[in-house]
Amino acid sequence: MSSKKSFEQFVQDMIQKIGDFDSGNHNQIKEIIRKAIDYYDLKTVERVEEVGNKRIETLYLASMAEENMLLKLARIASGNENGIGLEVIYDSSVVRKH
């Protein structure tokens, strides 16, 4: 059984892969969240709807634990340990199934 990377290491690896990372760019933070959902085998999902010419990305959180994990990853990526929330990153398109 292989162990998973720490949140800090995962985020640093993703930032390196992205290259020209901007911690204020919510789309880049969403990309880290998408990769984390897959990497950590989470049940949380992101769904995308096209409404007219607008793309709406909605995060469906499966549990409080997963919400806390993704929030921690987002805060590490943004460099803002206290302020940024998933609602800010997803423009209030967050659904809690828990």
The predicted-structure confidence for 24-59, as pLDDT tens digits, reads as follows 999 999 999 999 999 999 999 999 999 899 999 999
Alpha carbon distance 92, 17 (integer Å)? 27
Answer yes or no: is pLDDT of 64 > 60.
yes
For residue 89, the 8-state DSSP code is H
Residues linked to residue 58 through DSSP beta bridges, in sequence order = 47
Q: What is the reported pTM?
A: 0.90
Answer yes or no: is pLDDT of 89 > 60.
yes
Half-sphere exposure of 19 (CA within 13 A, CB side): 0
Residue appearing with tokens 């993704």: 70
Dihedral, CA atoms, 54, 47, 21, 77, nearest 10 degrees? 130
